[in-house]
């Protein structure tokens, strides 16, 4: 069958304003666990066997265009302008004249469903190919049907129509099988139906849902695939539903991780995005926010109150307590925190210790090295078994050249408390920087560098000048 499989194209409807969001941003650019609704649905679509995605835009379309330029979806796509927005059927009409001679399956979906999974779309596509129906739609069963379109089936159980909530009778409103608005259409077989849509309804819109009634009336075959988990196909229409989608996606993710052997102590108080992977026998303590492209090994203890973002890789057996980590790599057995800030482009080798009130940026830290207290290490290469003393600062920015320079601290070197390394500067192997030193010159291996005012003791000073009453 593989060779005879009809090609498929996806159509995402994203022209609407999403009035109830009360936002300057198009609804589909709002984020759910760190990723826009549109990017999430594109992730699901691009993993399918579809050759192109047509995206219908309208309200604030420039923002969507700019977003896609910055975040290319990784699948051929085109934008189609719908102005004004006269309904979901009208939206599809903006695409079809530009399909050329395309013959095959149009997978059409509203674009406000951030939790949609690839597997569900794949099941819909497979169901459509198998049944060879003109229209195959996804449906789902819900407790609260809200404003969803209701699925009308005949006595034999065949789907014969979708009725919008606003147009439904009291009796129809009791139906709990609803329309997530995700369909497969056989193109160009549905073309006459699309051309014939009217707007005789409460909203004066051209409803895509009317295509199902049209197909049934024309006695064209229709089929339905029921999605088991309604949460996955829930549409976002308001900030409250957006918050709910965050919660749902969080619940799905923490449950998946727990099934994979991760202890999550407070499932409701831990925010983890679905991209995150965590190895078995790791523990995530309460208050963590791990949102991004994050990979954590086994046997780690993360949190409480640790925040990670961007691309983060953490190897096995690390502990990261009350800290912020973005775009960094952490080796095995490292101990980070409390209150450490690993700010972008750091690579830590194994067994590194980063302590309280330490900020690292764009730095490489060698095996078994400690930066334990109150330091800023930026644009630096620190070797192994080195010790960066309390309050050490790398002065990496040159105000004249406006450039950042690198600091090198070789294996086994150590810096005393409150020392400053004015980059570019290097500390040779085993070298020691005395406390309070401002290093402006390279220090050779094995040397002690002292660069501070010499202390002078004035003997008997208190007896002569001190406050005798105290």
Annotated catalytic residues are: 373
Count residues contacting Ca ion (CB under 5 A)?
2
Using CA atoms, how far apart are residues 87 and 90, in angstroms rounded to an integer? 5
Q: Which is nearer to ligand UD1, 237 or 384 (CB)?
A: 237
Question: Which pairs with CB-CB distance under 8 Å and at least 24 residues apart come from 444-448?
Answer: 445/410
| CB neighbour class for 423 (10 Å; exposed up to 12, middle 13-18, buried from 19) | buried
User: Can you read off the two tokens belonging to residue 43?
Assistant: 């992730």
The residue from 85, 172, 199, 298 that contacts ligand UD1 (CB under 6 A) is 85
Measuring CA to CA, how many Å separate 377 from each of 95, 155, 211, 370, 398?
A: 54, 72, 63, 12, 15
Kindly state whether residue 213 participates in binding ligand UD1, applying the rule CB under 6 A: no
The residue from 183, 185, 187, 207 that contacts ligand UD1 (CB under 6 A) is 207
The residue from 33, 53, 108, 181 that contacts ligand UD1 (CB under 6 A) is 181
To the nearest whole angstrom, how small is the minimum distance from the Cβ of residue 93 to ligand UD1? 10
To the nearest whole angstrom, how small is the minimum distance from the Cβ of residue 393 to Ca ion? 53
By DSSP bridging, strand 271-272 and strand 289-296 are parallel
Q: Which is nearer to ligand UD1, 212 or 421 (CB)?
A: 212
Kindly state whether residue 16 participates in binding Ca ion, applying the rule CB under 5 A: no
Kindly state whether residue 238 participates in binding ligand UD1, applying the rule CB under 6 A: no
User: Can you read off the two tokens belonging to residue 469?
Assistant: 């009453």
Q: Is 421 helix (H, G, I), strand (E, B) or coil?
A: strand
Using CA atoms, how far apart are residues 197 and 211, in angstroms rounded to an integer? 8
Q: Which is nearer to ligand UD1, 175 or 422 (CB)?
A: 175
To the nearest whole angstrom, how small is the minimum distance from the Cβ of residue 236 to Ca ion? 7
Q: Which residues of 148-176 are buried (b: 16+ CB within 10 A; e: fewer)?
A: bbbbbeeeeeebbbbbbbebbeeebeebe
Kindly state whether residue 237 participates in binding ligand UD1, applying the rule CB under 6 A: yes
Residue 88 binds which one of Ca ion, ligand UD1, none, with CB within 5 to 8 A depending on kind?
Answer: ligand UD1
Of the ranges 86-94, 127-135, 317-325, 355-363, which one interacts with ligand UD1 (CB under 6 A)? Answer: 86-94
Residue 164 binds which one of ligand UD1, Ca ion, none, with CB within 5 to 8 A depending on kind?
Answer: ligand UD1
Tokens 């810096």 found at: 415
Whether residue 296 has a cis bond before it, omega within 30° of 0: no
Residue 186 binds which one of ligand UD1, Ca ion, none, with CB within 5 to 8 A depending on kind?
Answer: none
Count residues contacting ligand UD1 (CB under 6 A)?
28
Kindly state whether residue 417 participates in binding ligand UD1, applying the rule CB under 6 A: no
Residues 224-253 touching Ca ion, rule: CB under 5 A, are 235, 237
The residue from 34, 114, 127, 180 that contacts ligand UD1 (CB under 6 A) is 180
Using CA atoms, how far apart are residues 370 and 43, in angstroms rounded to an integer? 40
Answer whether 306's CB lies under 8 Å from 276's CB: no
Kindly state whether residue 178 participates in binding ligand UD1, applying the rule CB under 6 A: yes
The residue from 43, 164, 186, 329 that contacts ligand UD1 (CB under 6 A) is 164
| CB neighbour class for 74 (10 Å; exposed up to 12, middle 13-18, buried from 19) | exposed
Using CA atoms, how far apart are residues 222 and 184, in angstroms rounded to an integer? 10
| CB neighbour class for 286 (10 Å; exposed up to 12, middle 13-18, buried from 19) | middle
Of the ranges 106-114, 184-192, 364-372, 388-396, which one interacts with ligand UD1 (CB under 6 A)? Answer: 106-114
Kindly state whether residue 232 participates in binding ligand UD1, applying the rule CB under 6 A: no
Kindly state whether residue 328 participates in binding ligand UD1, applying the rule CB under 6 A: no
**Among candidates 395, 410, 397, which has minimal Cα distance to 440?**
395
Phi-psi sector, 362: left (phi>0), alpha (psi -120 to 50), beta: left
Residue 82 binds which one of ligand UD1, Ca ion, none, with CB within 5 to 8 A depending on kind?
Answer: ligand UD1
Kindly state whether residue 358 participates in binding ligand UD1, applying the rule CB under 6 A: no
Kindly state whether residue 87 participates in binding ligand UD1, applying the rule CB under 6 A: yes
Q: Per this entry, what is the length of the chain?
A: 470
To the nearest whole angstrom, how small is the minimum distance from the Cβ of residue 301 to ligand UD1? 41
To the nearest whole angstrom, how small is the minimum distance from the Cβ of residue 103 to ligand UD1? 24
**Among candidates 59, 60, 77, which has minimal Cα distance to 68?**
77
Residue 125 binds which one of ligand UD1, Ca ion, none, with CB within 5 to 8 A depending on kind?
Answer: none
Residue 314 binds which one of ligand UD1, Ca ion, none, with CB within 5 to 8 A depending on kind?
Answer: none
Could you list the residues that contact ligand UD1 (CB under 6 A)? Answer: 13-16, 56, 82, 85-88, 90-91, 110-112, 148-149, 162, 164, 178-181, 207-209, 235, 237
* Footprint on this chain of Ca ion (rule: CB under 5 A): 235, 237
């Amino acid at each position: 069958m593989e060779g005879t499989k009809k090609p498929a194209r996806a159509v995402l409807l994203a022209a609407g304003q999403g009035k109830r969001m009360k936002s300057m941003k198009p609804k589909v650019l709002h984020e759910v666990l760190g990723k826009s609704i549109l990017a999430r649905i594109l992730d699901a679509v691009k993993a399918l066997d579809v050759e192109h995605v047509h995206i219908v835009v309208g309200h604030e379309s420039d923002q969507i265009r700019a977003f896609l330029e910055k975040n290319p979806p990784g699948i051929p796509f085109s934008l189609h302008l719908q102005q004004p927005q006269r309904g979901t059927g009208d939206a599809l009409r903006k695409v079809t004249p530009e399909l050329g001679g395309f013959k095959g399956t149009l997978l059409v979906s509203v674009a406000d469903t951030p939790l949609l999974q690839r597997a569900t779309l794949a099941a819909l596509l497979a169901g459509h190919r198998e049944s060879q129906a003109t229209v195959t739609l996804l449906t789902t069963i819900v407790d609260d049907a809200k404003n969803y379109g209701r699925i009308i089936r005949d006595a034999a159980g065949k789907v014969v129509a979708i009725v919008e909530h606003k147009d439904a009778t009291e009796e129809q409103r009791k139906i709990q099988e609803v329309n997530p608005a995700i369909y497969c259409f056989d193109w160009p077989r549905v073309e006459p139906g699309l051309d014939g849509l009217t707007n005789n309804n409460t909203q004066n819109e051209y409803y895509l849902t009317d295509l199902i009634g049209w197909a049934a009336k024309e006695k064209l075959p229709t089929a339905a695939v029921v999605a088991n988990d309604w949460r996955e196909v829930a549409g976002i229409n308001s900030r409250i539903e957006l918050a709910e989608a965050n919660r749902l996606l969080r619940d799905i993710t923490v449950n998946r991780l727990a099934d994979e052997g991760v202890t999550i102590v407070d499932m409701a108080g831990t925010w983890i995005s679905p991209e995150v992977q965590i190895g078995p026998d790791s523990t995530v303590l309460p208050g963590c926010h791990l949102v991004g492209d994050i990979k954590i090994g086994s046997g780690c203890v993360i949190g409480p109150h640790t925040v990670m973002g961007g691309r983060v890789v953490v190897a096995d057996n690390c502990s990261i307590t009350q800290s912020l980590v973005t775009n960094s790599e952490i080796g095995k057995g490292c101990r980070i925190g409390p209150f450490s800030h690993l700010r972008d482009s750091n690579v830590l080798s194994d067994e590194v210790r980063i302590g309280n009130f330490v900020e690292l940026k764009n730095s490489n830290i060698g095996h078994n090295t400690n930066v334990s207290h109150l330091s800023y290490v930026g644009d630096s290469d620190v070797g192994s078994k080195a010790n960066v003393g309390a309050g050490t600062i790398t002065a990496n920015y040159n105000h004249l050249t406006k450039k950042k320079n690198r600091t090198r601290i070789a294996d086994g070197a150590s810096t005393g408390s409150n020392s400053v390394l004015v980059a570019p500067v290097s500390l040779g192997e085993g070298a020691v920087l005395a406390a309070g030193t401002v290093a402006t010159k390279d220090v050779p291996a094995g040397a002690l560098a002292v660069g501070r005012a010499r202390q002078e003791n004035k003997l008997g000073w208190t007896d002569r000048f001190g406050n005798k009453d105290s």
